[in-house]
Structure 1
């Protein structure tokens, strides 16, 4: 098995980036989901509610962020102060309060125009603040502003099987099979090639290159996967098909969540070992 691709998302619920190599930190890939968009009350806003957020491309250069979108000129954003020195506010991520730094009125105005409502951009200046949920992690485990865990792993074979199911279901309904779903819909960090479909369900520990990870739990999927990343419109897939083939505990499942046990660099083409 090999590492087929690596992806990171500087601002949660905005466009992702493909990369050939990445640094694994205790809380996730370097540069992944250290920024988040909130409404005026401080509640996290995602592309589940505002699909047009996927049109925002966030480029990182150190701690400097540049936002690009279809509605306005590119905007450079530099968080105020060094980590731990900016004015903090509290948001709630996965039921856990997290202290974050506001990124200023210019970023808020730029993103508000894109989102179609007043929003703020927040930065997790200190990623050691947010623990992983205690039911799944150790006391020392940390996560940035991802939904719950530092990394998400998917496999090419599982997506291929899902697309077969989607096509089979369409034919059963007398419909033309749709174009295959892209992996982008599932917003993974790492994609594995060479595994059997859904073999990842049984993995407990995995080594990518020289970096070791615990597999904490499967990833239950939400309506964000039904948003076409090209058109920002919602459909029924893959939730309809996952509900038929991959539903238990009242949820639908695709991919598995990882916590790093060690840190280091991973690169596309790295070998994958199940420990």
Structure 2
């Protein structure tokens, strides 16, 4: 097994940035989901509510972030300093003390047609992990719950053979895509060594409407039959049988154990396996 591709999402729910190499920090890949769009109440906005976020390009640099969206001039934003406005940003039931990026509100609000702000989370100001599945000092930034998401090319191939039209991997918004010959083999992985790093796989990822969103156009797939779109098919063949995790599963959430550099093409070694693979309900 090898690393097939690496990706960060500088703005939560924005378009992915593909990388040839990435630094794994205790809270995830460097630059991944450190920025987030929030409404007037500080609540996070994602593609679940606003699929047009798939069209938002965000390129991080040494001085800050450059945003691009259809019909708008690019916007360069410096990293907010300690003097910037601070707010409490809400992600599900979790909160984070974030800094507001000056100059982004009018740009985003005009594009999406509602009052919005962009906030930034400095390295080290992370949210705690969900201790039901993982422990560790690194915490997590603005990702939904865990620092790293890992997917398997063989699992996508198995899903796609059931669909009328294949789904690209970018629908699943992974950080590390592993090339493998074993569909759903990740259900039995516990710890991996990738390049200089080690990661612990702690929880399968239960999926939502985002996997029906075309990441190049922002359009949603429609269809009543499971073969018409990936979420319906996953709900048919990949429902968790473990009561703590509900929903349709694809990919695994992981926590860094040993930080370091990861490169596309790096070998992937299974250091530990689960006593039993994660249980899946029989297909309906």
Q: TM-score, normalised by structure 1?
A: 0.91
Task: Give distance in 2, aligned partners of 1:228 and 1:89.
Answer: 32
After superposition, the CA RMSD in angstroms is 1.3
- Aligned partner of 2:180 in structure 1 is 194
Q: Is the 8 A contact 1:203 1:274 kept in 2?
A: yes
Alignment of 1:1-275 (within 5 A): 1-81=1-81, 84-104=82-102, 106-166=103-163, 177-178=164-165, 180-236=166-222, 237-248=229-240, 249=243, 250-275=246-271
Query: 1:63 Cα deviation (Å)?
Result: 4.6
Q: Is the 8 A contact 1:58 1:68 kept in 2?
A: yes
Task: Give distance in 1, aligned partners of 2:67 and 2:96.
Answer: 23
Superposed CA deviations along residues 203-249 of structure 1, whole A, max 9, x for unmatched, are: 11111112000100100001111111122111242111001100124
Task: Give distance in 1, aligned partners of 2:199 and 2:63.
Answer: 26
Task: Give distance in 2, aligned partners of 1:40 and 1:184.
Answer: 30
Query: 1:116 Cα deviation (Å)?
Result: 2.1
Q: Is the 8 A contact 1:154 1:188 kept in 2?
A: yes
Task: Give distance in 2, aligned partners of 1:136 and 1:240.
Answer: 26
Superposed CA deviations along residues 66-118 of structure 1, whole A, max 9, x for unmatched, are: 0011121000011331xx553321012241221000001x2111111222211
Superposed CA deviations along residues 11-37 of structure 1, whole A, max 9, x for unmatched, are: 001111111100000001011000000
Task: Give distance in 1, aligned partners of 2:230 and 2:113.
Answer: 27
Query: 1:257 Cα deviation (Å)?
Result: 0.6
Query: 1:53 Cα deviation (Å)?
Result: 1.2
- Aligned partner of 2:277 in structure 1 is none
Q: TM-score, normalised by structure 2?
A: 0.88
Segment drifting more, 264-273 vs 86-95 = 86-95
Q: Is the 8 A contact 2:84 2:101 kept in 1?
A: no
Q: Is the 8 A contact 1:71 1:113 kept in 2?
A: no
Segment drifting more, 14-23 vs 121-130 = 121-130
Give the paired residue count: 261
Q: Which runs of 4+ in 1 moved over 2 A?
A: 84-87, 126-129
* Residues 205 and 195 of structure 1, relative CA distance in 2, 3 Å threshold: farther
Q: Is the 8 A contact 1:127 1:143 kept in 2?
A: no
* Residues 139 and 268 of structure 1, relative CA distance in 2, 3 Å threshold: closer
Which 5+ residue runs of structure 2 have no aligned equivalent? 223-228, 272-284
Q: Is the 8 A contact 2:55 2:217 kept in 1?
A: no
